[in-house]
Structure 1
């Protein structure tokens, strides 16, 4: 082709090339614009929170260091660890039932009532140093003051004298027993209406020893025992041990020695045991008795004025006094004539104080117990 023709075609060719380039550039710019728009939407779109995945970790025992190698529990330990009491399980039910029973028993347990005069102020007015009051049917202590203090018990000892003598293979009750010089009091030099040579039946000896606290009668009964007085005293102490009276000791049958000792609490056991003997029940609460002595008759009355004048209804009673013990009194009181309660009083300074204590306590019992 001639040069002139090639130059004439060149402008057209350039136009075609430019048009092609423009056509190819348009899609590229469109794609770039689209990409830019998508980037803007992504930048302005609300970000979605990533869910946290909780990774369970094995519990670490506090007693083990953090870097200690883990060990598996044995089968028995795993079972113990997994065992947990469930609500309403039998042990829980048993515990609730037991608690309810204890509460019910406490609610129905006998007690002395404030509305009956059993108040701190009235208790301070009691004269006896040691006091013990117990409901015999339920063995519930109703009041105690110095109840475990060991003290001389004086003629309260004669309850044990009667028990031991009645337990022995003694001679017939109507056979007579003589008072001798061996029965004289060489400790306190007390007087007695029974002179040396007086003769009483064994029943009368027991009667006046319990009802009127006749010392020579008690001494005569202790001589009238297989083995004599030493064997009798040994039997008294053995009987006390069998009754659980571990702080009680006897050295004679009369109680004139201050070495005859016990506690207010243990004397309740003695009163309870004495109540098992019909003759003790009969003789100890008798109001009076006329006794033939072989040289005439002697009139005896009960040494317990509460019983003698009917101020208290009792099934067993005994009083006692020496200087070392003060005035003592024990009784098995029949509340409302049917419910027994044992009252032991030791160490009042006067017989009137002991009597007033008995009256006050008998009122508490009568008002509080049904």
Structure 2
């Protein structure tokens, strides 16, 4: 019996050591979808700006309203970003079906598209904001405030724990999962087909089976990422907040996938289709989570340990073209 306990302790120490690497994201939470177990965790309760992760909430509220997705939305001058002065390839005056506007907001994270969805919500922007507040309450996101639909405002704030709830809810909308996992798509703008790409370069990358994706960035929020992935036969939702660089965010996601597959972490560099890139090597370290169960709408707390996951072959999901 003592030998078994000693062997189990060594295995636990080995698992934690494998993931005692510097993570570039300041807040991290990874939850196994089927069981609710916390797999990895770091500052999951910190309330921080969430940038364009906001657009997942915007999309859910728009879809809940069951508006005509074929209705044309004309992009208005009021949809232009005057806060951060972000660029957009969607010109003022363009008339685009609501379905395509939703595609642009989710896949390409276009701010004018997200703003126009809120502006054309039944009852206008005030009604949209009220619907967002109701949705936040319904999901039990007790540490979340969302004041506008794009995420440009630093007043849109949440925690990794709350955002896992939002991501898991969004994963039940096929309209959202399809659009956020498109690597690229053509959208007709002013009678011209324009190609737009996903802001998450992991979508469509070899070895990645992604069921939901959304990136975010502002100066206040840093580089953020929400993904639902499948690895080693397990489905997990990850939230990464406030990474200092895109490369650090990508490396964090890669290490999480490696953890799910029972592999050792990578540090320093991560490969991509267009070549290698440097990743952050500084900052606090993160170790394996406890494996405790996160109940629906429950606040996630910190610190725990996990049983290592057996390595299995990752199957690349066929995406919609």
TM-score category, normalised to shorter length: 0.7 to 0.9
CA RMSD, aligned part only? 1.8
Unaligned runs of 5+ in 1: 1-106
1:352 aligned partner: 247
Match of 1:159 among 50, 56, 60: 56
| 2:234 is the alignment partner of 1:339 | yes
Larger Rg: 1
Supply the distance in 2 between the matched residues of 1:345 and 1:294 (Cα, whole angstroms). 37
Contact 1:198 1:295 in 2 (8 A): no
Contact 1:236 1:250 in 2 (8 A): yes
Supply the distance in 1 between the matched residues of 2:202 and 2:70 (Cα, whole angstroms). 30
* 3-state DSSP of counterpart to 1:144: strand
Contact 1:311 1:359 in 2 (8 A): no
Unaligned runs of 5+ in 2: 1-7, 263-307, 311-321
Supply the distance in 2 between the matched residues of 1:335 and 1:270 (Cα, whole angstroms). 21
Listed as ranges, the matches of 1:259-278 within 5 Å are 259-278=155-174
* 3-state DSSP of counterpart to 2:258: helix
1:181 aligned partner: 77
* 3-state DSSP of counterpart to 2:84: coil
C-alpha offsets along residues 318-367 of structure 1, whole Å, 9 cap, x if unaligned?
0000000000001111124x531111000100011001100111111122
Contact 1:127 1:349 in 2 (8 A): yes
Contact 2:234 2:260 in 1 (8 A): no
Contact 1:275 1:315 in 2 (8 A): yes
1:169 aligned partner: 66
C-alpha offsets along residues 132-175 of structure 1, whole Å, 9 cap, x if unaligned?
011111111111100000000000000000000000031x2122
Q: What TM-score, normalized to structure 1?
A: 0.66
Name the one with the larger strand percent: 2
Supply the distance in 2 between the matched residues of 1:346 and 1:130 (Cα, whole angstroms). 5
Contact 1:301 1:308 in 2 (8 A): no
Supply the distance in 1 between the matched residues of 2:12 and 2:155 (Cα, whole angstroms). 37
Listed as ranges, the matches of 1:124-273 within 5 Å are 124-170=21-67, 172-273=68-169
C-alpha offsets along residues 176-210 of structure 1, whole Å, 9 cap, x if unaligned?
11100110101111111111011211111111111
Figure out how many residues of one structure are paired with residues of the other and give that number: 256
Supply the distance in 2 between the matched residues of 1:222 and 1:213 (Cα, whole angstroms). 14
CA spacing shift, 1:195–1:140, aligned 2, 3 Å? same
* 3-state DSSP of counterpart to 1:132: strand
Name the one with the larger helix percent: 1
